[in-house]
Amino acid sequence: MTASYLRRVKVAEVERVASRIKRFRLVDVENKPLSEFSGGSHVTVCMRAQDRVIRNPYSLMGCPSDTSSYQISVLKVDNSRGGSQFMHDNVVVGTELEISEPLNLFPPAKLARKHILVAGGIGITPFMSMMSELDALGSDFELHYGVRSAAEGAFCKLLEARYGSRIRLYLQDQDQMVPLERILSNQRLGAHMYVCGPKPMIDWALRTATLAGWPDESIHSEQFNAPPIGKPFVVKLARSRREITVGGHQSILEALEQNGIDAPFLCRGGACGQCETEVSGCDGFIEHNDHYLSEAEKASGRKIMICVSRISGDAVTLDL
Amino acid sequence: MLVSGIKSRPVYPGLSPDPNARRNLIVCDRAGAEAVVELVARAGEDFVKRASVILVADDASSEEAAALQKKLDPVHVEVACSLDAAIAQLREILSGASMGLRLYAAGSEPLIGSVVQAGAENFIDPLSVRTEHRGSLMRRVQCVHCKGMTENVVTNPVKCAHCGLLLLVRDHYSRRLAAFQGVCINAEDPSDSPEPKVEFQ
Ligand SMILES: Cc1cc2nc3c(=O)[nH]c(=O)nc-3n(C[C@H](O)[C@H](O)[C@H](O)COP(=O)(O)OP(=O)(O)OC[C@H]3O[C@@H](n4cnc5c(N)ncnc54)[C@H](O)[C@@H]3O)c2cc1C
Ligand code: FES
């Protein structure tokens, strides 16, 4: 993906929807219609901070057929290396940003009889557009939404008003847990489960569904990957014979972009597979942070997803 | 071996037990029953308790069917006299079934195809069905001209059982129809009739 795919938008509205979450409404700078998207899609938002460019994926929350504006919501992350902080502190009504075209790695299954949505915290965002779409289609769905407290949960009132008893809220500070095992038992054939939230919650939900005898094809998840930072290392590019230093707070992809090298990417979250790169040599170990490569591929050490994975060691040689 | 370059050609990775399934429902024919015997031997006790088999015994004598039933013991086996009867029974079960049911199919391709098809009609993803091909390579073929199905095809080309055209059996497979495509081989010159050769035995 290159700059030509980017669309310039400006912020039309900012709203604080929970103690650490802000919602942004984006419109085309020339008020041209935006592309339609499908429920569960996200865009990559490109932010021009003082010293660097930050690109983070954010899920689209509005109605998929509404082309007048897009809505995203951003959680302010502690120890953020930039993106979410920038959105909270620097982005106001009128700020211009660039976004990619929508991409969907988390669509609802077309042939499902029922959709069981499980959200934790900011993981509610992809379900906002998904529910819009499912509701318009008259599909059967229910949302189980866990939040830390009433103050930290976004959109609770709005969701209950819009979808009534199809929404179940669970407040962590009142010891309410999503009773997933019970929810998943006695569902008729054709039910699909979707989960988005913190990694431990995703892992727990996937495990619970598998132990309930649900086939992999009926279980879906999206992880908002925020991989750990590390130590600086050198990337040697075999084809272009260049050497680039990747900072401890940078991904390989970001370091390449900073040095004017265009590498392919779509999701920037280790999910889509677009940035898969051949490793021709590694002076250290690859820290695989993606959920795209198979265990065998990870173990082989021949491939790396440069949007999220790094190495612990001195240098890695890539086929670029 | 069933290998081909055409993408729609299904692959059958072999049976493996799902230790978590609440119910294991297995459909097989006489040849496929051998794969089921191996599956049951490999799987744990819990699997066996939750498993049941529908055996299509159209090419087996009642003694042979009884012997297979014995080999599969203690798994409960229902014997069906034909593939159609087995699929009708399967549909009945699936229409009232819950998540946690795992479907298995072992035997000829038409059998596997029919099981996957009945599963899909009841919201089971084709990839969720665990399959193993055993025995005959015979195919179910749909004539692309009259849309009629010809069962148990072993030769290529084959005469359409409905419109009588001589059909070239292709590797092009329709999951929805659970059948391979047959295309008229001598449309240009009906007098040019290549000799059918046994290809799918
Ligand atoms: C598909 C998808 C949808 C998302 N939707 C939302 C949403 O709707 N709302 C929301 O709040 N968040 C969402 N996120 C998360 C969001 O993109 C950011 O990760 C989050 O806002 C935190 O970003 P940050 O810059 O503040 O902090 P950080 O997590 O510190 O920084 C993230 C940045 O780190 C870079 N990076 C990646 N791997 C490494 C590494 N190994 N070492 C160093 N740097 C690395 C990435 O390029 C990324 O730009 C989504 C993520 C994905 C993948
Ligand atoms: S860009 Fe999608 S996996 Fe890296």
List the domains of chain B with CATH numbers.
23-133 (3.40.50.80), 139-198 (no CATH)
User: CA-CA distance, B37 to B32, in Å (whole number)?
Assistant: 9
Do domains A7-99 and A233-318 share one topology? The answer is no
Burial of A78 (0-12, 13-18, 19+ CB in 10 A): exposed
Specify the pLDDT at position A232: 96
Crossing angle of helices B62-72 and B30-42, in 10° steps, is: 10
Q: Residue B11: what pLDDT?
A: 86
Cα(B77) to ligand 2 centroid in Å equals 48
Query: Chain A partners of B99 at a C-beta cutoff of 8 Å?
Result: 184, 187-189, 191, 212-214, 218
Mean pLDDT of B2-31: 86
Global confidence as pTM? 0.89
- Residue ranges per structural domain of chain A: 7-99, 114-222, 233-318
- pLDDT score at A160: 96
pLDDT tens, position by position, A256-303: 999 999 899 988 989 899 999 999 999 999 999 998 999 999 999 999
Token duo for residue B74:
């203690």
Contacts of A110 in chain B (CB under 8 A): none
Q: pLDDT tens-digit profile of A17-43?
A: 999 999 999 999 999 999 999 999 999
> What pLDDT score does B20 carry?
96
Taking only the tens place, the pLDDT of each residue in B95-145 is 999 999 999 999 999 999 999 999 999 999 999 999 999 998 999 999 999
Q: A139 CB less than 6 Å from ligand 2?
A: no
> Which amino acid is residue A5, in one-letter code?
Y
For chain A, residues with pLDDT lower than 70 are: 1-5, 226-227
What is the structure's pLDDT at A1?
Answer: 45
Q: Per the structure block, which two tokens stand in for A38?
A: 């499908």
Return the CATH class of domain A233-318.
alpha beta
DSSP A104-152: -SSPPPTT-SEEEEEEEGGGGHHHHHHHHHHHHHT--EEEEEEES-TTT
Phi and psi torsions of A54, nearest 5°:
-115, 135
User: Distance between CA atoms of B57 and B62, rounded to whole angstroms?
Assistant: 8
Which amino acid does the sequence have at A170? Y
What local confidence, expressed as pLDDT, does residue B188 receive? Answer: 85
Enumerate residues 12 to 51 of chain A having a beta carbon within 8 A of any beta carbon in chain B. none
Tell me which CATH code domain A114-222 carries.
3.40.50.80
What is the rounded CA–CA span in Å between residue B89 and residue B80? 9
Work out the mean pLDDT of chain B and round it to a whole number. 93
Residue of B91, B94, B122, B123 for testing the chain A interface, max A β-carbons within 10 Å: B123
The CATH H-level (homologous superfamily) assignment of domain A7-99 is: Translation factors (2.40.30.10)
Per-residue pLDDT for B8 more than 80? no
Q: What is the DSSP letter of A306?
A: T
Residues of chain B above pLDDT 70, percent: 97
More confident residue, A61 or B189: A61
- Closest ligand 1 atom to Cα of A271: 53
Contact A167, A127 (CB under 8 A): no
A307 DSSP assignment:
T
